[in-house]
Amino acid sequence: MYSFVTFLAALPCVLSLLTPRQAVDYVNPNLNGGSMLDNAGDGFGEPLNVIISALSSPDVLTLDGFENFANAIGFSTTCLGIQLGGPQSANLGDGNGFVNQTVELRQDFGSSALGTCLESLIGGNHLRVFIQNGPSADTGALFLAVSQEEDLEEAHTIVPNGYNIGRDALSLAAIGTTSANGVTYSTVGTNVTGLLAPGSAGVNHDIATDGITTVLTITIV
């Protein structure tokens, strides 16, 4: 009898370990002093225009898990591990303040080994990842700053309309069924307004955006 009572007393703690950190897609950074623009280091920022929902499969929300998903949609780590330029930071309104990007990935043109070197030369899509995991909004959602870059000769600036182009290209590659390294993903997407202000106010390179953020929910199947 005693052991059964002890089990019942412990049951809420056991169940809590099985509950997501917060059963929401994400928390709006704007509601708690954060921003949907990161800090590019020049007084301007790049839009966080894609969110990987916290309701995705938990393994996708880890660094290794997201990088594998990124491989499935044509992104890999930077060329030979060389990072040009400094990291950007973002305040996701989660109580952590400004935190540097977790990783930066580039379009790999079908070669995870050397494809990003080609992107560095000729330009292409790229993304920066920020994790919402602070004490005020511990969702685990991933906020991505996605943009289409110019080539090396243009010093990797963003192409005209490059934030919208980058977001849409990533979403097109992601939505549906994809796979990499033996893992298969099913992804659905929803376009959300009201997180990002449309226009170019505060946006790096003075490139206007349409104010749309795409929320992707990725399930390992």
Confidence of residue 80 (pLDDT cuts 50, 70, 90): low
Percentage of the chain beyond pLDDT 90 is: 70
Predicted confidence band at 91 (pLDDT cuts at 50, 70, 90)? very high
pLDDT at 109: 74
What's the whole-number mean pLDDT along residues 75-82? 71
Among the residue ranges 39-48, 53-62, 88-97, 101-110, the one predicted with the least confidence is: 101-110
**What pLDDT digit, counting tens, does each position of 14-70 carry?**
333 344 466 899 999 999 999 999 999 888 999 999 999 999 999 999 999 999 999
pLDDT, tens digit, for every residue of 112-154?
666 567 676 767 899 999 999 999 999 999 999 999 987 766 5
SS3 sequence of the chain: CHHHHHHHHHHHHHHHHCCCCCCCCCCCHHHHCCCCECECCCCCECECCEEECCCCCHHHHCHHHHHHHHHHCCEEECHHHCCCCCCCEEECCCCCCEEECCEEEEECCCCCCCHHHHHHHHCEEEEEEEEEEECCEEEEEEEEEEEEECCHHHCCCECCCHHHHHHHHHHHHHCEEEEECCEEEEEEEEEECCCCCCECCCEHHHCCECCCEEEEEEEEC
Confidence label for 156 from pLDDT (cuts 50, 70 and 90): low
**pLDDT the model gives residue 84:** 53
